[in-house]
Every structure is written in C-alpha cells, then in structure tokens.
Structure 1
Amino acid sequence: MTQTTLPGLRTPPELKSGTLRIVPLGGIGEIGRNMTVFEIGGKLLVVDCGVLFPEETQPGVDLILPDFSYLENRLEDIVAVVLTHGHEDHIGAVPYLLRLRNDIPLVGSQLTLALIEAKLQEHRIKPWSLTVAEGQVEKFGPFECEFVAVNHSIPDALAVFIRSAGGTVLHTGDFKMDQLPLDGRITDLRHFARLGEEGVDLFLVDSTNADVPGFTTGEREIGPTLDRLFGQAEKRIIVASFSSHVHRVQQVLDAAAKHGRKVAFVGRSMVRNMGIAAKLGYLRVPENILVDIKNIEQLPDNKVVLMSTGSQGEPMAALSRMANGDHRITVGTGDTVILASSLIPGNENAVFRVINGLLKLGADVIHKGTAKVHVSGHAAAGELLYCYNIIKPKNVMPVHGETRHLIANGKLAQASGVPAGNVLLTDDGSVIDLADGRARIVGQVECGFVYVDGSSVGEITDTDLKDRRILGDEGFISIITVVNRTTGKIVSGPEIHARGVAEDDSVFDEIKPKIEAALEQAVMASTDHTAYQLQQVVRRVVGTWVNRKLRRKPMIIPVVLEA
C-alpha cells in the first residue's frame, strides 16, 4: 500500500547514524513554496527556497514563505542551499532565510544565481555563492551533489543527485522533456540513465502535470502562433508573461523584429530579469528593437509591443493596473493583449477579472484557452513514465504539486513497477528517513504558512486573515456604552456605528433597548463582573439580533465603560 502521512503523526524519533532524513517544508500539496531539507551526520542541505503567492482568501498578504522554524535553532548546521532554477517559487524565499544567517552558501547555475543575487541586492544582502553546471560534482559536508541538465520554461535549470551515507536521492526540480528546445539544451536522459545504473534510492519527482496524458507540447510551437497574431494586430500588442520566462520573451522579440515593431519591457521585475538574461547571453536581443516605456507614446500604435508582468492577475502587476485604468499605459479599442502563461491553481478568478477588465476597455484578449500562446514547463505523464523506466528508483516521493497531482504521479510510479509501499505521498512537514534502500515516513514537524504582509514577516496569523475576510465580506459594528457600575443603568449610549452592514445606522434603534436590559441584568446579577464580561454580553445580544434580522455575521466590537 502507498505510504501516506497519517493525521496526528507524532514527533519523529532521533535520527540514527547512517540514516538520511528528508523533510519537505513546502511544495507538497501546493504549487509553490518549494523547499526540502536533507539531514545526515548533524548537517543540513537545503534544496530550493521559494514562495507561494496568496489566494483571494488571504487578503493583504504579499507572499507566503516556508516555515523556517524547523531550521531556526540549527542555522549553523546548514552546509548549502542548492537552487534548481530561477523561478520565484524556488528562489523567492532565499532573502528571508538569509536574514537569519547571511553566509549560507548558495549553489546554482549561472542564470539562477544572477537572478537571486539581484533580488538579494534589493534586500542589501551580499551572498556567498557557487556557480555550478551540468555534470559538475561538488561536496558540501557529508553530501555529494552531482548536477544534471534539465529542460524547463527558464534556461539553466538543474536536477541534483545527492549521495550520502544514508543513500542516494535524485531531485528533478521542475523539468520537462522538450526535444527541440529554443536553447538546444535538453533534459539529459543519458545522465539520468547512468544515475539509475548507479542506483537511485529515492526519486523526488515534479508532479505538476502528472495528471496530463502524453507529452508536453514543445516551445517551438508557440512561435508560429505569435507570428500569426502579430501579423493580424492593427494596433498595440501587449504580451503578459512571467518575468523570468526568457524563452517566451525571446519569441516575442523575434516576432516583433519580423513585423517591424519596437518592444518595451513593462514591470520592474521584467526589466531587471531580462537585463540579466541579455547580459549573460541567455536572451538574444535584435539590434535597436528595445525602447524605454517613457518613449512609447512617440511611436505609432502599430509599431509597439509591450512585454508585461501580470499574467496571473497579481493586483499590483502592470497588466492588472492597465485593466483597472490606473497605469501609464492606456488600453483601448483595437489593442491586442496576449496572456502567454498557464493559470496557477488558485489564480483563476484574479486572471478572469483582468481579462474581463481588458475586454471592457475594447481590447482583443488572447489566452491559452483560445490560441496556442503558452506551453507548460512541466513533464506530462508520458515523460514521467520514461523517467521511471530509465531510472528504476527503489522509492518515489512525488513533489511540487497539489494533492491530485501527487496521487497521479504516485500511480504512474506504481504502473512502472515501483512497489506501492515504496511510493510516499507526503505533506509539508512530513519526516522521511532513508536507510538500507528503504524510505519510510516516521513523523511530522510543525510546518505552517508564514505570511509576508508589507514589512512584517510572520506576524499575521490565520486568525487575522479570518478577521480580514469577515470585514471584507460582512462588515463590522461597533457599540460604545457607558454604564453605572452599581446600578447597571446606562449613563451614555449605546452608540452603534456600522460599516458594510446596513444603509443607515437607524436600523439598530430596535436593538438598543435589548442591550440596555441585558447590561442592567448582568450588572445586578454579579458584583464582581468585569468590563470584558459586559462586552461579551453586548456581543451576544447584537450578534444574535443581526444574524436573525439582517442575515449577516459581521465583526462586532463592543466597548463597555463603567462609571
């Protein structure tokens, strides 16, 4: 039977000598926040350290981090952080980890380190970093890491093969098997096969497209679609994509050059990342094609392409602001907007809201559902089966995906011959021990969401978010009352003020006598009552009445002063 994390699993036992412990702190049951900790011999190796972007049920939250509490008392034991590639869900939390210890070595490919170093510069952190490439082998304490070229939707992605006294682990990171990639760098299946012959005790596999049959479409198939759309467009073209999707930006630049258009990058992260990619040679920029957004109004509409952030409906990203009419770029009738990305689960409503806003402004909106303007960067079921058959791992742990993706990936592993008992379906915080070629779930550590809200990190709780949702959905009512401490008679009030509950505060005139009666009764019933107890009396009376009369459950803030 497939191993799964059981509810209420206890604190893991003390780690035995010669056993490799694996603890995922993010990326399990979610798309984002990828982070896995490996431990042996008292030392820790971290693979990836990414962020998760908030959903609509998390108002006011900017980012969600992995829970570092598992590491806080062991920061000096971390020998390195290995970064598989430069996407935010794999590197975005690095600045917050380095705030705790700024000299943790960062290991990754040239582009990956360039992207994170630019981000760290904004946080005023200068990291210690080591650039690695495919085929390279490096030793970090008791861990030996060998790096493997994999193909993804960003250049320079790497899988990592970890050798230790407790066993071997192959972590794919995010990957697919595009056989004709734009940069000619394919997933190195020959390298995978050699590692399989050596022996892979535990295979950590990207699960995002495990429930998609067949093979992921190649990046080259996007080019002809963009060429056709650029040829048809009569006015400005706005293409929205991830700010790190170098391949997609390359295709936009090539199409713009072919059709005689200039390109302006829109969005701070887009400008920064593409500047880095061009400087390092990962992005080939045709001569004289780039223009500054400040000069875009000087060009005819049919000579302009805007390469923008905001393909996921992020409220502060450029495309969302254009849809809301509060950006320097005004979208109008005849403009063509292309959303060149797939929907991250949880972002659907935000993206559709942006699409509807753009359509209202008269733009023609093209997205993955209407034209082939994006392909996934993740391996589909057919590609995953190839990997299982080539590598023949002893144990499999699906990672990077929601529960449905993890389960689908586990079924693929079993179909390829991995025993069901050797397929581990885990949660964030699960503790897996690997020894003698067998991986087992042995416990669970605390692993919650850490919210970044403005300048605060970890101070916002789920209770705070619940309060925000109530305020946003149901409104609030404040009741201020002054009572005589001895008689319980109302000296002043109750004054009732509401927001988002009713059109006029006069609707609450009906409840005021009930508040007065309840307070008087509470004071007379007990001589040692407290102001808090009286406030709870008011809360119950008002809450019951509002729920029955107005069919609402607002936040109720009672204030009772005794005179």
Structure 2
Amino acid sequence: MIHPHPDLRLPGPLAEAAVRVIPLGGLGEIGRNMMVIEHAGQLLVIDCGVLFPDEHQPGIDLILPDFSPIIERLDDIQAVVLTHGHEDHIGGVPYLLRHKPDLPLVGSQLTLALVEAKLREHRITPYTLTVTEGQRERLGVFDCEFVAVNHSIPDALAVAVRTSGGTLLHTGDFKMDQLPLDGRLTDLRAFARLGEEGVDLFITDSTNAEVPGFVTPERDIASAIDKVFRHAERRVIVACFSSHVHRVQQVLDAAHKSGRKVAMVGRSMIRNMGIAADLGYLHVPAGTLVDFKQLGDLPDDKIVLICTGSQGEPMAALSRMANREHPIDVGPADTVLLASSLIPGNENAVYRVINGLMRLGAHVVHKGNAKVHVSGHAAAGELLYCYNIVRPRNVMPVHGEWRHLVANAELAIASGVPRDHVVVVEDGVAVDLVAGRVRVAGAFDCGYVYVDGSSVGEADEALLKDRRTLRDEGFISIVVVIDSVTGKILAGPTISARGFAPDAEIFEEVRPALEKALLDATAAGVRDVYELQQIIRRQVGSWVGRKIRRRPMILPTVIEA
C-alpha cells in the first residue's frame, strides 16, 4: 500500500487507454498542492500551490512544486484547474505561468479573481475560464465536471475527470458542514451520482483523517467570537488567513453587533477581502469598515483590527506586533484572537508569537483555550461517509503529512476498499490507472523549489545548510598571507569569529598549531591555495570541536604575495 520514493525508477511510457496521476506537491506535507493527470498524450493540472518555509529553511520566502517532470511538456497541458483560492493551491500559479503565460486557468469566480489579482503583481494577464458547480467542460481529452464542496473559503470545487481510461474524482479541500455560513453544502448527491456511474480513482483530502467524528459547524463558533468581543476591554486584534472570507464575515458581524469599527491590516488581507466584497461573497455592515489611518480618532474600546499572521509567519503583521516592530503597539488589556488552526509544523512559531503578545500584557484567545475556530477539512466520520456513498474502486489519499495519508488510507480500507486498491505515495511518484486498477509506475526526481528573494530554484540544500550553520554555530574567518616563492608566512593568521560567547583571546591557543601545520605543508612543497585552505579548515575545525564543542562555518583565506 505504501510506496516511498527512493528505490523507484523513472516511469516508462504510459500504456494505451491508461491514466497516469503524478503528484508534484501536497503529499507528505500541508501545502504545495499540485496534481498532474496524463491521458492520451495530454496533461491536466489540478492546483498549483505553495508551501511556506519553516525554521529549517532560513531566508526562504516560498517553496514551489517541482515543475521539472512537465517542464518539457507545457504544450501538452490542456488547462490548470484550481479547486479553490487558498495559497497552498494557487500560490504557485504565477511561477508556472512564467514558463508559459497562455496556460488556461479554470476555476470558480472567486478563485480566479484571487489568482488574477496575484498575477497582476507578476505582470501576467492569464486566459481564464470561469466555471460553476454542476458545469461540465471538455478540456482536451479530459471531460471535467465541477462539484460544489464546502470549505473555509467560498466557491470551492471538487472535480470529476472522465477519460476513456477511467473516471477520477478529486475532492480538493472539503468538509461536510451541514450548516454552512453561505448555505453552500458539499454536493453529496453529485458524489453519490458519480459513485453510481463508477469512480475508478478517488483522490481525497487527508488533513483531518486522524480526527474522529465530524467537524464542528462554522455557525457554532459565532457565540464564542461574540463573547470575546463582549469581554474585551480595549482593542480586539484578530489574526486569520487573508483568504478566510467566512471568518472575516463573522468578525465583521461581531464588531457591528458590539458597536466597534473594523480596520484591515496587511496588503493581502485588504486585497482579498476587497475582492470578496466586490463579488458579493463578503457582506460588510454599513459604517463598520474604516481605514487604518482613522483609528487614531476612535477610543480603544471601539477598535477591531483584522490582520495576517495566525501561523506565526515572521514578516506577517501579528509577529511584528509581538516583536514591537509594527506601528500597532500591543499592550495591556488588548485582546488578540487567533482565528485559525495550527498548520502542522508551525506550532513553535505560533506559540512564540503568543508568548510575545502575552509578555506585552495582551489577552490571547486561540483554539487551545476557546472555541474560536473550526477546521475546513473533513474529519474521519465525514471521510467514511464519502467512501460509503462514492464506493470507489481505488483510492489515493492526498493533502497531508504521512500520518494523515496513512490514516485516510485505513479509513478507505475499513469502508471496504481492498487494501491493494489503496495507494499511499509521496511527491513525484507516478500512479497508473490501468483497466480499473492502480499501480505504481515509477517516480520522478521531485524536490523542493525555493523562492529566495528574486531567485527561483537557485537556492539548494547546501545553501540552506550553510545558513543554518551560520545561524546556529557561528563562523570563524582566518586570513593568512604567505610568500608565493618560499611559502613563508608573511602575515597572520588573523582569526575573527562571530556567534561565539568566549573571548577572542581563546583563539590564541590554536594559532601555534595552525602556524606549524602551514609551515610543515609549505616545507613539503604544498603551494596550492585551495590545499592550504583545507589544512586551515581541518586544523581549526578539529580544535574548535574539541575546545568549544561547536561546528561553526570556517572561512579560510590564503593570500599569496
């Protein structure tokens, strides 16, 4: 059932009438979602998102899917289907369209509006096709039907892909809230109808597969948010995703009810909520929304701020407030509401922000101490419900870490899907659907692609290792000037260090041994600058490891004179 990557070879040619599914992101991680479907020489892409870096990737802005398995086949792509407007599903689109700007984008009204706004910043004008639930579109050899699903953003869609080699149903991100704020239910009737028709491969969201039961309805948290507003003494600062329209709507309603004014902070928040309001997905009570600059004219107990940073992102507004690097000076009696779930891997960053805010005297309300957020992903009971109405022949869990994928696979098996019809793979592993059965066909080399400032794909693991070493261990610089003819040391070694607590005088201990090693080497005829630098690196590295028990970056420089 489980097929990790390392021992697999490149997949061979796709058999006639078969369908190949290649995940390029989103498996083994929460983010970077991208799926490629191949049939009859044509490709269909579903989603193209980003992953946000963690503390092990210092300096990195975004992490993209690896496009290399399809980069030579861009002309074969019939369309890029986008299931919804979250960054982990649309954030990578500008980088894909850099390679081929005329790739058709297909999605719902809100999803495409969010993508188009993002693409304008990259100076790309896309070709788009707006679809709605119940609509069918022929995209090359792929007959796609779009199905309404409920999620934490409006206008989310699942997509059924019919081909001559079989029918695939990709849920995108979804849950089965029976009392959705916008009245838009997950269309279980369509799921059942597709199940009666026959779903050969069910590709399902796994994020909450370990969570028993059903996710709490969004409506149930409105009273908790109202309570926070009623008890807040001064300002209320709400942090949530910049695309979480439903949560922003609840905050606006609670603010209006309590007589407070709301200002939005952060470019992405202002942009996305402006789009949602213009399209009718966000309803702003009259007189509630004000410009940030007007807050100085209002008393603190009449102010609500909505900002980004609920995941502890270092450059987001909330993190900067916690570090006192933001114009908003958080202080005693302020209430900070984190209206989001913790994305796995972000726990330390989020708790660091919470601790920073509480140190400043703020009262912090989060999912751990109040019922102020519910997940946008189906829990185990909802997944089982779907398996029972779809009755798929084969299952491929997606969107989750390994523990989520495996838990989802076990749910499928418990519902009656044969174990050998359930495939758990990681990014890059190609899965073929042949005559109604799935099998692993091989794997593409599929790694992380880092956006590092203005560069895309140039940063690699070696660079990140150097950054981690500089951050965690410090560095030592050694400069030596030698006579190019005799090899005699003319100046130095001069030793400088950063990131060490001990005094600089401690390095006097290693200087005699270093000088002797260099003299011995030059006496033996070593004149190559690189070899001499390696001698310095080994000598100093060995000493600092024994003496200080650190492994710093060592930067030797040998100058010939």
Q: Find the counterpart in structure 2 of residue 347 from structure 1.
A: 346
Q: Deviations over 1:114-172 (max 9, x none)?
A: 00000001111110000000000001111010000000000000000001121110000
Compute the displacement of 1:228 (Å): 1.0
Compute the displacement of 1:178 (Å): 0.1
Q: Find the counterpart in structure 2 of residue 207 from structure 1.
A: 206
Q: Find the counterpart in structure 2 of residue 521 from structure 1.
A: 520
Compute the displacement of 1:225 (Å): 0.4
Q: Deviations over 1:296-349 (max 9, x none)?
A: 111011111111111011111111111111111111110100000001111111
Q: Deviations over 1:510-534 (max 9, x none)?
A: 111111111111122235x411011
Query: Contact 2:5/2:428 (CA < 8 Å) preserved in 1?
Result: no
Partners of 2:301 and 2:5 in 1: how far apart? 59
Q: How many residues align?
A: 561
Matched, 1:13 2:6: no
Query: Contact 1:50/1:90 (CA < 8 Å) preserved in 2?
Result: yes
The verdict on how the C-alpha distance between 1:502 and 1:364 changes in structure 2, with shifts beyond 3 A counting, is closer
Query: Contact 1:481/1:560 (CA < 8 Å) preserved in 2?
Result: yes
Q: Deviations over 1:478-520 (max 9, x none)?
A: 1111123444321111011111124432211111111111111
Matched, 1:400 2:402: no
Compute the displacement of 1:454 (Å): 1.0
Q: Find the counterpart in structure 2 of residue 464 from structure 1.
A: 463
Partners of 1:75 and 1:523 in 2: how far apart? 56
Matched, 1:389 2:396: no
Which amino acid in structure 2 is aligned with residue 456 of structure 1? S
Which amino acid in structure 2 is aligned with residue 472 of structure 1? R
| TM-score, length basis structure 1 | 0.99
Compute the displacement of 1:6 (Å): 5.2
Stretch deviating more after TM superposition (486-495 or 352-361) = 486-495
Partners of 1:7 and 1:336 in 2: how far apart? 49
Partners of 1:514 and 1:402 in 2: how far apart? 50
Q: Find the counterpart in structure 1 of residue 495 from structure 2.
A: 496
Q: Find the counterpart in structure 1 of residue 536 from structure 2.
A: 538
Q: Deviations over 1:447-489 (max 9, x none)?
A: 0100011111111111100000000011000111112344432
Which amino acid in structure 1 is aligned with residue 251 of structure 2? V
Matched, 1:123 2:122: yes
Partners of 1:561 and 1:290 in 2: how far apart? 64
Task: State how 1:263-412 maps to structure 2 within 5 Å.
Answer: 263-412=262-411
SS of equivalent to 2:116: helix
Query: Contact 1:102/1:125 (CA < 8 Å) preserved in 2?
Result: yes
Compute the displacement of 1:7 (Å): 3.0
Which amino acid in structure 2 is aligned with residue 135 of structure 1? G
Partners of 1:175 and 1:6 in 2: how far apart? 27
SS of equivalent to 1:97: helix
Partners of 2:78 and 2:300 in 1: how far apart? 53
Partners of 1:4 and 1:445 in 2: how far apart? 13
Which amino acid in structure 1 is aligned with residue 558 of structure 2? V
Q: Find the counterpart in structure 1 of residue 548 from structure 2.
A: 550
Give RMSD over aligned pairs: 0.9
Partners of 1:469 and 1:282 in 2: how far apart? 43
Q: Deviations over 1:45-74 (max 9, x none)?
A: 000000000000100001000001111111
Partners of 1:17 and 1:209 in 2: how far apart? 36
Partners of 2:272 and 2:486 in 1: how far apart? 70
SS of equivalent to 1:349: helix
Partners of 2:405 and 2:392 in 1: how far apart? 17
Partners of 2:236 and 2:557 in 1: how far apart? 56
Partners of 1:533 and 1:5 in 2: how far apart? 41
Matched, 1:99 2:113: no
Choose the corresponding residue for 1:560, options 550, 554, 558.
558
SS of equivalent to 2:68: helix
Query: Contact 2:181/2:246 (CA < 8 Å) preserved in 1?
Result: yes
Matched, 1:37 2:13: no
Query: Contact 2:83/2:158 (CA < 8 Å) preserved in 1?
Result: yes
Compute the displacement of 1:360 (Å): 1.1
Matched, 1:190 2:189: yes
Query: Contact 1:236/1:302 (CA < 8 Å) preserved in 2?
Result: yes
Partners of 2:534 and 2:385 in 1: how far apart? 63
Query: Contact 1:18/1:166 (CA < 8 Å) preserved in 2?
Result: yes
SS of equivalent to 1:161: strand
Task: Give percent identity, aligned residues only.
Answer: 68
Structure 2 unaligned runs (5+)? none
SS of equivalent to 2:35: strand
Partners of 1:184 and 1:481 in 2: how far apart? 73
Partners of 2:136 and 2:353 in 1: how far apart? 46
Q: Find the counterpart in structure 1 of residue 108 from structure 2.
A: 109
Partners of 2:346 and 2:82 in 1: how far apart? 25
Structure 1 unaligned runs (5+)? none
Which amino acid in structure 1 is aligned with residue 430 of structure 2? V
Q: Find the counterpart in structure 1 of residue 505 from structure 2.
A: 506
| TM-score, length basis structure 2 | 0.99
